[in-house]
Structure 1
Amino acid sequence: MARAGLDKNPREVAEMFDGVAQGYDRTNSVMTLGFDRRWREWSRRVLDARAGEKVLDLAAGTAVSTVEFAAQGAWCVAADFSLGMLRGGGHRPVPKVAADALNLPFADDAFDAVTVSFGLRNFNDTEAALKEMSRVVRPGGRLMICEASTPVFGPFRWVYKKHLLKILPFVAKFVSSNPEAYHYLAESMREWPDQRTLAEKIARSGWEDVAWFNLTGGLVALHRATKPL
Structure 2
Amino acid sequence: MSRASLDKDPHEVAAMFDGVASGYDRANSFMTFGFDRRWRTTTARVLDARRGEKVLDLAAGTGVSTVEYARGGAWCLAADFSFGMLHAGLHRNVPMVAADALNLPFADESFDAVTISLALRNFVDPKAALTEIARVVKPGGRLVICEVSTPPFAPIRFVHRRFVLKLLTWVGSRTSSNPEAYKYLAESMLTWPDQRTLGEIIASAGWTDVEWLNLTFGVVAIHRARKPA
- Cα shift at 1:4: 4.3
Give the distance between the partners of 1:62 and 1:224, measured in 2 at CA. Answer: 23
Kindly indicate whether residue 182 of structure 2 is the aligned counterpart of residue 182 of structure 1. Answer: yes
Gaps of 5+ in 1: none
Give the distance between the partners of 2:10 and 2:173, measured in 1 at CA. Answer: 24
Residue number in structure 2 paired with 1:76: 76
Length, aligned pairs only: 227
Residue number in structure 2 paired with 1:106: 106
Give the distance between the partners of 1:78 and 1:170, measured in 2 at CA. Answer: 29
Give the distance between the partners of 2:145 and 2:44, measured in 1 at CA. Answer: 11
Residue number in structure 1 paired with 2:124: 124
Give the distance between the partners of 1:69 and 1:165, measured in 2 at CA. Answer: 28
Task: Classify the secondary structure of the residue corresponding to 2:193.
Answer: coil
Aligned residue type for 1:56: L
Residue number in structure 1 paired with 2:59: 59
Q: Does the Cα contact within 8 Å between 1:131 and 1:206 map onto a contact in 2?
A: yes
Give the distance between the partners of 2:2 and 2:185, measured in 1 at CA. Answer: 9
- Cα shift at 1:223: 0.1
Aligned residue type for 2:54: K
Point out the more displaced range, 151-160 or 219-228. Answer: 151-160
Q: Does the Cα contact within 8 Å between 1:29 and 1:35 map onto a contact in 2?
A: yes
Q: Does the Cα contact within 8 Å between 1:169 and 1:180 map onto a contact in 2?
A: no
- Cα shift at 1:5: 3.2
Aligned residue type for 1:113: A
Identity of aligned residues (%): 68
Q: Does the Cα contact within 8 Å between 2:146 and 2:223 map onto a contact in 1?
A: yes
Give the distance between the partners of 2:89 and 2:178, measured in 1 at CA. Answer: 17
Matched ranges for 1:5-154 at <5 A: 5-6=3-4, 7-154=7-154
Q: TM-score, structure 2 length as denominator?
A: 0.97
Residue number in structure 2 paired with 1:173: 173
Q: Which of structure 1's runs of 4+ aligned residues deviate more than 6 A?
A: none
Matched ranges for 1:182-221 at <5 A: 182-221=182-221
Give the distance between the partners of 1:35 and 1:160, measured in 2 at CA. Answer: 15
Q: Does the Cα contact within 8 Å between 1:144 and 1:225 map onto a contact in 2?
A: yes
- Cα shift at 1:174: 1.8
Give the distance between the partners of 1:113 and 1:20, measured in 2 at CA. Answer: 28
Give the distance between the partners of 1:69 and 1:201, measured in 2 at CA. Answer: 25
Task: Classify the secondary structure of the residue corresponding to 1:180.
Answer: helix
- Cα shift at 1:171: 1.3
Aligned residue type for 1:68: E
Q: TM-score, structure 1 length as denominator?
A: 0.97
